[in-house]
Structure 1
């Protein structure tokens, strides 16, 4: 029977429409969670207590996140070093497709931007979706410094750099609304100063002291007079907490993406006083504990401002660790360490929490790479990525939400070592191309050996890569070599 329209039910319908519109608006905002992506520097699979019950490092905040969210056991970085992983994460593209074929950016003042000006990043994509975006911490994918005579600086021109001029091609020009951090490795690469947006906070005008220069891995260079090696991550964490507070004051109706990238536990292992001696491993372990403290400060800020329920928070690392001290297994039981091609070099902890969307206290062995974050965040927002964007990124949103994807296991993932050695994993199998060694240090693969020398492992039966099956399964070697060469070309 048709409903007769009266002034009364017309008013009721209008009320329902208004309520529906309001619900729609709320749902649209709820479908765009805040995203906090925390990526430590050189933190290994075995460093976090949730991943290693025998860890000599206390990581209460990360362990708490694991009980409140989802802990992944088979997540990898595209490289076992920092610059290529950061490029891969931000662009969804393997870094070896750029000019950087091995190692990391290390020209300091001559490190022009690795991310092309026109290339979409996670930040620019989310910005297009209405997000406010911030990068706080280590950048290390290149920026251009200017000289006093008005041209781009080169590697050996530290004395001629004009630190009063804006840097070019940094985070602000690659999709981020706000940046506070350092150009390269915060505690080992010059210049030792903080940059806010496009300008240095304090001018680097003194040479680093001898005791700092004597530390392992530290490159001699100019430092701001108020610089403190021990307090870098404390300062970065304060800025991250301030960003969350300021966002809630100034943009409470907008979602935000916070890419927080501390320097710990990267060398030279200079620990702030309040963290010294906190672990049984030593200085490096104390810096892992500092990362845990950073995580705790940020999660507390989210709770304080009522953002916890609608925030996807992820904690991971840019590559595997250096070898642990005092019996601590920094890579867990996995073979290899930072810069190496074995799993210990690129298998990392990955914890995700999103109340109401991710079931608490769960664990997943779904395989994915940090390069997959671009396509995954795009899928989260129903964004269709343009052609020639995130070419090496797969959508793993079902895995991130605790499910499985049938085709995901057979998706090939490519890994890269410090010396540019390639590996590929597909299904149960992992092939390392061109070497019987680690792919780091003096060990290199040569063009004439790529298809005739290598390693083959069945990771389902042999997750710790102890039994090389290269000679036993020549058909699998041929198959994976062909697939890897196809992807490389």
Structure 2
């Protein structure tokens, strides 16, 4: 039987075709560390540097300073839900290809098949130590935890934070529906439960994520090994409850207290990078996995954009994203070039001297010239916007075409007889009484769709719930 390691080596052999971009090849160089901090349901308009901060009840000085020290992207796009975005980040593939197009609700094998090659696996093959601390949401059974997908260690929750509310709900019984556990694991060992994830632990989780991330970076710095520290914060996902040390600190309620706590936790991790003497050789990323929370009273704010997560509106997919790498990424720069979650794998692989799989479609493109200030334009012109299994919209340059209308996460998705076309420069709110008449845009949009559909003939979609072992059809 072919081992997973040999399959990984075969997948990473050679180069991967990335649209019109240059193929990514491993480059011998001093390997940078990577600290990637991913917030959960943080809207575009929440941080001070994106128009929020004090207007949301709490200043965010550490994250704002991070933006001043690096590149702030204003057209960073994720997928519309938590699971798809996390899948896209780690695989460089639209989540619909991987059977991870929707948040799982149990009853099937959830998460990534072991056939998928993750960023952690690619970096591991290039000599990196990697760890994930926080929310996973890409598999909740042995065989599909982070340590089964390339990470050396992990601590956190397998699914989502609203499950912390279960133990206090009327009628709930652990015998009927077991509570979500906080889990911990190391590569080569079985993941083990640590404690029940309840409302008390919900308040403590992000501080523990920051603490463990700092400890991991310290250990790798002392070992002289490059690292990939993936701190997947649980805030501000509902229920948005701050750590006890921050409760009441702003005087503006739990949401503002949470924002102050998030900023402080980011600061703790950044301070550790500086204290360890790693600042110059560490790529720091801060982003959100999708648009803001919809459920009241924890709903968030997408700033100038319409909508929240689970929708194809700009507010559902356009997120804050900051990149810092001193002396490599020019400081104080702002770019509106279009970037997508799938671009992060090939981009970070290029910067780290790692490889991307060459045996499957990779939807991401190498955006390192954009990040390094060597190019002003994106390496892509457009993106596909999926909501669950539907191709709901397409962005091309400054235009957006919607094939379905869906106002909120609980609204039905209605297929449109005539697609809605918006010029996002002229109509950033995507107001339907101001559609664009530039119907010529449909041509390049449909070319993007056709290219994706053509790729499915040789590489069919992996159905959601597909068990391991998965082997692609010949």
Per the TM superposition, whether the score is higher than 0.5 is: yes
Structure 1 residue 441 corresponds to structure 2 residue 410: yes
- Alpha-carbon distance change, 62 to 470 in structure 1, aligned in 2, over 3 angstroms: same
- Alpha-carbon distance change, 354 to 402 in structure 1, aligned in 2, over 3 angstroms: same
- Alpha-carbon distance change, 289 to 455 in structure 1, aligned in 2, over 3 angstroms: farther
Which residues of 2 match residues 190-339 of structure 1 at below 5 A? 190-197=179-186, 198-202=190-194, 204=196, 228-249=201-222, 251-252=223-224, 254-279=225-250, 282-322=253-293, 330-339=301-310
d(CA) in 2 for partners of 1:354 and 1:390?
A: 29
Tell me if the contact between 2:394 and 2:400 (Cα under 8 Å) persists in the aligned partners.
yes
d(CA) in 2 for partners of 1:402 and 1:456?
A: 32
Structure 1 residue 121 corresponds to structure 2 residue 121: no
d(CA) in 1 for partners of 2:452 and 2:97?
A: 10
Which residues of 2 match residues 100-111 of structure 1 at below 5 A? 100-101=100-101, 103-107=102-106, 110=107
Report the Cα offset of residue 474 of structure 1: 4.0
Which residues of 2 match residues 158-177 of structure 1 at below 5 A? 167-177=142-152
Report the Cα offset of residue 191 of structure 1: 1.4
d(CA) in 1 for partners of 2:297 and 2:148?
A: 44
Aligned length: 409
Q: Calculate the aligned-residue CA RMSD, in Å.
A: 2.8
SS in 2 for 1:188: helix
Tell me if the contact between 1:419 and 1:443 (Cα under 8 Å) persists in the aligned partners.
no
d(CA) in 1 for partners of 2:260 and 2:375?
A: 32
d(CA) in 2 for partners of 1:381 and 1:241?
A: 21
Q: Which residue of 2 aligns with 1:37?
A: 36
Q: Whose RCO is larger (CA < 8 A, sep 6+)?
A: 2
Tell me if the contact between 2:206 and 2:233 (Cα under 8 Å) persists in the aligned partners.
yes
Report the Cα offset of residue 44 of structure 1: 1.0
Runs (5+) with no aligned partner, structure 2: 1-26, 165-178, 457-474
Tell me if the contact between 1:111 and 1:143 (Cα under 8 Å) persists in the aligned partners.
no
Question: Which of 314, 327, 332 in structure 2 is aligned with 1:361?
Answer: 332
Runs (5+) with no aligned partner, structure 1: 1-27, 145-166, 213-226
Normalising by the residue count of structure 1, what TM-score does the alignment of the two structures yield? 0.77
Tell me if the contact between 1:265 and 1:287 (Cα under 8 Å) persists in the aligned partners.
yes
Q: Which residue of 1 aligns with 2:81?
A: 81
Q: Tell which deviates more after alignment, 356-365 or 468-477.
A: 468-477
Report the Cα offset of residue 460 of structure 1: 2.6
Report the Cα offset of residue 187 of structure 1: 5.0
d(CA) in 2 for partners of 1:443 and 1:481?
A: 24
- Alpha-carbon distance change, 39 to 402 in structure 1, aligned in 2, over 3 angstroms: same
Tell me if the contact between 1:187 and 1:229 (Cα under 8 Å) persists in the aligned partners.
no
Query: Per-residue CA shift, 1:438-481, capped at 9, x if unaligned?
Result: 263122145xx5xx343211123222322566683444336524
- Alpha-carbon distance change, 247 to 378 in structure 1, aligned in 2, over 3 angstroms: closer
